[in-house]
C-alpha cells in the first residue's frame, strides 16, 4: 500500500474526551472514529489489524479441531425465553419486528448453538463437538466507555463445546485454555490467567485471560507462586493482628459525633484493624447484619455467594434504626436478637475489639467475637494489597487489568433448559455437558496499544500491526530518494513483507511523526545523505534504535529483524 492511495487520517492531538492512551492513539493514528457512544467505525488500519487478529484466532481454533460457523446476530426471543436469559440479562438489545415478534441482538450465542445441537446431535458417536464463530456482538451498555473498552457493538470469537460427560468437558476446556494462551502469545500480549466467577453465564468454573494495563477496569490479585484470581473471587489470609488477651467484658464509652471508622481511629488512637465495622443489608426483604474488620471492604459478589442469592441491597437508615435502635455510626452486633449475623472470616478468633454499642454516640470496647455475639463466618471481603496468598503465604499484589478472554465450564445449565440430549453407549438418554469460551477482538487491539506505546504513538507487535514496516522516503522531490524508496517497496512486496510506502510529498518531519504514530514496528528510512553512500536506515520503533544497511540489503535485513524480534 502507498500512503498516497491510503486513507489514514492522522491527528496531532486527540479529542479532549479520550482518556485511555489506547483510545487517544487509535484516534490519532487514524484507526477508528466514533459513531456514537460505544460505537466505533473501524477504518483501514484498525480493520487490517483486526483481520490479522482474527486469522491468528482462527488458526488456533482450527488447530484444536474447532469448526467455524456463522450464526445470525438477530435472534428470536423464544430461544432466550427457554433458558430464562430473556428476562435475567438486562443488557440485551430487545425489540419487535413489524409483526410484533420479539427479537434480540446476540450478546453471546449459547441458546442458538444449543438449539442446533438438540436438533442435530443424537448419539455419543457425534461427540465431542466444538463450534465457533467470529462475529458481531451487542450489549446495551448502561455506561459505554470512551474507546474500545466498553462497547455496544463489538467483535467476538465465541465457541461452544458439547460433550457426553464432565471428563469430556475437561478435555474441551483444556484445549481452549491452551489455544487461548497460544493466541495471546502470538498476538504479543502480556497477560495473566486468573480464576474468575461465572457471573451471568452461569456454570461453575471459569478462567479469565487478563492483560495488565492501567486502562483496565478489572482488578486481579496475583502471587509470585502463580496464583491469580479476579478480585471478586480471590481469597486471601489477612496478615495477623496482635489482640490483647480479651479478659474484660464489653464496656461502653462515649464517642460524641464519631461515626466513621476514620473518625473513631483519630478519636481513640486504636488501629482500624482492631475495630468491627457493621453493615446492614436487606436480603429478600429480611435484615442481615454484616461484620467486617474496620479496614476491610465488603465484596458484594462474595456476599451473593455466601447468601446464595443476588437479591439484596443496603438497608435504609430507617431500617437500620428499627433493628439497632440507634443511628448509623453507632451500630454493632452485641445484644442483637433474632437477626442473622454474617461475619467475615478475618474476624474469627479475634479478641477485645471495638464496635458500635447500638446506642447513639456510644461504642463498646473489649468485644470478643464468639463470646459477646454469635455469627456465621464467610469470606465476604475484597482482597487488599498486602493480604497473604492462601497457597504460599506471601503478600498478594493487586493489579489493574483488561479482560481479553474468558472460558467457562457451563455444565448442563443450557442443555438441560433446552433439552439437548443424546444417547450414550448403553442407549440411555443423557444431557449434553457444555462449555463456552469468548475472546474480544477489539480488546486485543486495545491491550496491545496500551502495552506498546509512548507519547509519540504506537508500536504494535508485528503479528497484529496493520503494517510490519513503513518505508519513509524522506524527500519525494529527490529523484534518487524516490527511486530507492520505490525499489525497497517493490522488493518488500516480492518478499511478502507487509509494508506501507510513505510516498507523500510531505516534509520529512511530518512523515517521521506519522511513522512514529501508526503502529508499524519498523521503519525503513530513505534519506538523501545516507543514500549518497548507498545506505538506508532500519529503525526499530519500540527501542528507537536505528542501524544503517546497504540499500540492496534493506529488505533482507528488515526481514531478519522481523523474524528475530517482535
Shortest distance, position 205 Cβ to Zn ion, whole Å = 20
Asked if 558 and 524 touch (Cβ cutoff 8 Å), the reply is yes
Whichever of 14 and 388 has its CB closer to Zn ion, that residue is: 388
Residue 158 vs 387, nearer CB to Zn ion: 387
- Give the residue among 384, 354, 388 at the shortest CA–CA distance from 369: 354
CB of 221 to Zn ion, least distance (A): 10
Q: In the complex with Zn ion, which residue's Cβ is closer, 307 or 389?
A: 389
All 3 cell numbers of residue 432? 449434553
Nearest CB to Zn ion, comparing residues 51 and 392:
392
Q: Which is nearer to Zn ion, 382 or 396 (CB)?
A: 396
What's the min distance (Å) between Cβ of 234 and Zn ion? 11
d(C-alpha 500, C-alpha 483), whole Å: 15
Q: How far, in Å, CA of 412 to CA of 305, rounded?
A: 20
Alpha-helical runs (H) found in 64-129: 77-83, 85-88, 110-120
Contacting range for Zn ion; rule: CB under 5 A; set: 309-317, 326-334, 392-400, 438-446? 392-400
Q: How far apart are CA 231 and CA 520, in angstroms?
A: 35
- The count of other CB atoms within 10 Å of the CB of residue 162 is 26
CB of 378 to Zn ion, least distance (A): 22
Site map for Zn ion, 56-95, x if CB under 5 A?
A: ----------------------------------------
Q: How far apart are CA 223 and CA 538, in angstroms?
A: 40
Footprint (CB under 5 A) of Zn ion, residues 302-341: none
* d(C-alpha 480, C-alpha 403), whole Å: 49
Provide φ and ψ at 565, rounded to 5°: -95, -150
Q: Could you give the C-alpha distances from 490 to 2, 71, 362, in angstroms and in order?
A: 11, 41, 83
Q: Which stretch binds Zn ion (CB under 5 A): 228-236, 336-344, 391-399, 551-559?
A: 391-399
Q: Binders of Zn ion among 201-230, rule CB under 5 A?
A: 223, 225, 227
SS3 category, 428 = coil
Residue with smaller CB distance to Zn ion, 227 or 281 = 227
- Residue closer to Zn ion (CB basis): 114 or 236: 236
Binding mask 334-373 for Zn ion (x = CB under 5 A): ----------------------------------------
Q: Which of 322, 392, 480, 510 binds Zn ion (CB under 5 A)?
A: 392
Among the candidate windows 132-140, 159-167, 269-277, 385-393, which touches Zn ion by CB under 5 A? 385-393
Q: How many helices (H) and strands (E) does the chain have?
A: 15, 34
Cα(497)–Cα(449) distance, integer angstroms? 22
Q: To the nearest whole angstrom, how small is the minimum distance from the Cβ of residue 144 to Zn ion?
A: 37
Show the site string, 4-23: x = touches Zn ion by CB under 5 A, - = not: --------------------
| Adjacent-strand bridge partners of 157 | 134, 439
Q: How far is the CB of 225 from Zn ion (least distance, A)?
A: 3
For the bound state, the minimum distance from the C-beta of residue 248 to Zn ion, rounded and expressed in Å, comes to 38
Could you tell me if 542 and 566 are in contact, meaning their C-beta atoms sit under 8 angstroms apart?
yes
Please state the closest distance from residue 237 (CB atom) to Zn ion, in A: 10
Smaller CB separation from Zn ion, 41 or 392: 392
From 15-23, 168-176, 323-331, 386-394, give the range in contact with Zn ion by CB under 5 A. Answer: 386-394
3-state secondary structure 145-179: CCCCCCCCEEEEEEEEEEECCHHHHHHHHHHHHHH
Closer to Zn ion by CB, 223 or 368: give it: 223
- Under the phi-then-psi rule, with left for phi > 0, alpha for psi from -120 to 50, and beta for the rest, what region is 508? alpha
CA distance 404 to 442: 9
Minimum Å gap between C-beta 103 and Zn ion is: 48
User: Which C-beta is closer to Zn ion: that of 225 or that of 480?
Assistant: 225
Nearer to Zn ion, 214 or 224 (CB): 224
Among 219, 389, 524, 566, binds Zn ion (CB under 5 A): 389
- Cα separation, 216 vs 204, in Å, equals 25
**Size of residue set near Zn ion by CB under 5 A:** 6
Provide the minimum distance between the beta carbon of 387 and Zn ion in the complex, in angstroms, as a whole number: 11
Supply the minimum distance, in Å, between the C-beta of residue 15 and Zn ion.
43
For every residue of 492-547, DSSP letters joined together read: HHHTT--EEEE-----HHHHHHHHHHEE-SEEEEE-HHHHHTTEEEEEETTTTEEE
CB of residue 402 vs Zn ion: minimum separation in angstroms? 23
Length of the chain: 566
Whole-angstrom Cα distance, residue 19 to residue 332?
A: 43
In terms of CB distance, is 237 or 559 closer to Zn ion?
Answer: 237
Residue from 33, 96, 391, 553 in contact with Zn ion (CB under 5 A):
391
Q: Does 386 bind Zn ion (CB under 5 A)?
A: no
- Give 235 or 330: the residue with its C-beta nearer to Zn ion: 235
Distance CA 416, CA 402 (A): 33
Q: How far is the CB of 439 from Zn ion (least distance, A)?
A: 27
For Zn ion, the binding residues (CB under 5 A) are 223, 225, 227, 389, 391-392
Amino acid at each position: 500500500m502507498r500512503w498516497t492511495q491510503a486513507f489514514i487520517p492522522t491527528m496531532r492531538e486527540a479529542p479532549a474526551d479520550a482518556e485511555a492512551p489506547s483510545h487517544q492513539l487509535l484516534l490519532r493514528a487514524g484507526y477508528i472514529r466514533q459513531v456514537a457512544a460505544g460505537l466505533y467505525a473501524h477504518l483501514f488500519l484498525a480493520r487490517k489489524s483486526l483481520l490479522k487478529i482474527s486469522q491468528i484466532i482462527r488458526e488456533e481454533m482450527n488447530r484444536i479441531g474447532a469448526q467455524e460457523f456463522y450464526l445470525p446476530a438477530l435472534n428470536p426471543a423464544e430461544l432466550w425465553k427457554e433458558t430464562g436469559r430473556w428476562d435475567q440479562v438486562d443488557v440485551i438489545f430487545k425489540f419487535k419486528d413489524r409483526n410484533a415478534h420479539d427479537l434480540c441482538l446476540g450478546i453471546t450465542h449459547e441458546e442458538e448453538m444449543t438449539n442446533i445441537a438438540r436438533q442435530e446431535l443424537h448419539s455419543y458417536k457425534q461427540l465431542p463437538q466444538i463450534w465457533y464463530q467470529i462475529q458481531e456482538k451487542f450489549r446495551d451498555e448502561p455506561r459505554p466507555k470512551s474507546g474500545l473498552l466498553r462497547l455496544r457493538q463489538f467483535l467476538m470469537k465465541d465457541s461452544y463445546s458439547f460433550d457426553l460427560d464432565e471428563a469430556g468437558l475437561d478435555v474441551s476446556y483444556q484445549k481452549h485454555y491452551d489455544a487461548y494462551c497460544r493466541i495471546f502469545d502470538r498476538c504479543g500480549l502480556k497477560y495473566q490467567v486468573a480464576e474468575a466467577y461465572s457471573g451471568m453465564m452461569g456454570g461453575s468454573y471459569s478462567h479469565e485471560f487478563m492483560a495488565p494495563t492501567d486502562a483496565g477496569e478489572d482488578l486481579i490479585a496475583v502471587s509470585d507462586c502463580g496464583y491469580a484470581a479476579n478480585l471478586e473471587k480471590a481469597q486471601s489470609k489477612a496478615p495477623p493482628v496482635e489482640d490483647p488477651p480479651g479478659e474484660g467484658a464489653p464496656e461502653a464509652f462515649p464517642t460524641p459525633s464519631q461515626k466513621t471508622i476514620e473518625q473513631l481511629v483519630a478519636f481513640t488512637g486504636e488501629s482500624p484493624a482492631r475495630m468491627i465495622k457493621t453493615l446492614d443489608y436487606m436480603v429478600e426483604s429480611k435484615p442481615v447484619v454484616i461484620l467486617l474488620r474496620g479496614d476491610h471492604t465488603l465484596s458484594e459478589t462474595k456476599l451473593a455467594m455466601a447468601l446464595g442469592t443476588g437479591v439484596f441491597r443496603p438497608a435504609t437508615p430507617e431500617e437500620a434504626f428499627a433493628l439497632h435502635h440507634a443511628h448509623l455510626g453507632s451500630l454493632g452486633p452485641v445484644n442483637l436478637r433474632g437477626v442473622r449475623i454474617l461475619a467475615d472470616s478475618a474476624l474469627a478468633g479475634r479478641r477485645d475489639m471495638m464496635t458500635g454499642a447500638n446506642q447513639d454516640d456510644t461504642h463498646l470496647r473489649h468485644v470478643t467475637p464468639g463470646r459477646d455475639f454469635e455469627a456465621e463466618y464467610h469470606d465476604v471481603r475484597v482482597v487488599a494489597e498486602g493480604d497473604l496468598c492462601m497457597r504460599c503465604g506471601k503478600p498478594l499484589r493487586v493489579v489493574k487489568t483488561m479482560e481479553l478472554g474468558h472460558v467457562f465450564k457451563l455444565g448442563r445449565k443450557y442443555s438441560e433448559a433446552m433439552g439437548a440430549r443424546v444417547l450414550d453407549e448403553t442407549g440411555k438418554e443423557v444431557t449434553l455437558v457444555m462449555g463456552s469460551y469468548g475472546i474480544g477482538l477489539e480488546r486485543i487491539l486495545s491491550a496491545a496499544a496500551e502495552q506498546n506505546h509512548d507519547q509519540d504513538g504506537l508500536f504494535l507487535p508485528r503479528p497484529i500491526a496493520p503494517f510490519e514496516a513503513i518505508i519513509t522516503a524522506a524527500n519525494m522531490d529527490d529523484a534518487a530518494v524516490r527511486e530507492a524508496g520505490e525499489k525497497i517497496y517493490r522488493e518488500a512486496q516480492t518478499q511478502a513483507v507487509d509494508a506501507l510506502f510513505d510516498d507523500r510529498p510531505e516534509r520529512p518531519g511530518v512523515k517521521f511523526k506519522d511513522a512514529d504514530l501508526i503502529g508499524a514496528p519498523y521503519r525503513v528510512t530513505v534519506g538523501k545523505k545516507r543514500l549518497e553512500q548507498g545506505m538506508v536506515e532500519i529503525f526499530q520503533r519500540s527501542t528507537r534504535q536505528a542501524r544503517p544497511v546497504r540499500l540492496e540489503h534493506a529488505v533482507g535485513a528488515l526481514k531478519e529483524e522481523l523474524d528475530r524480534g517482535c
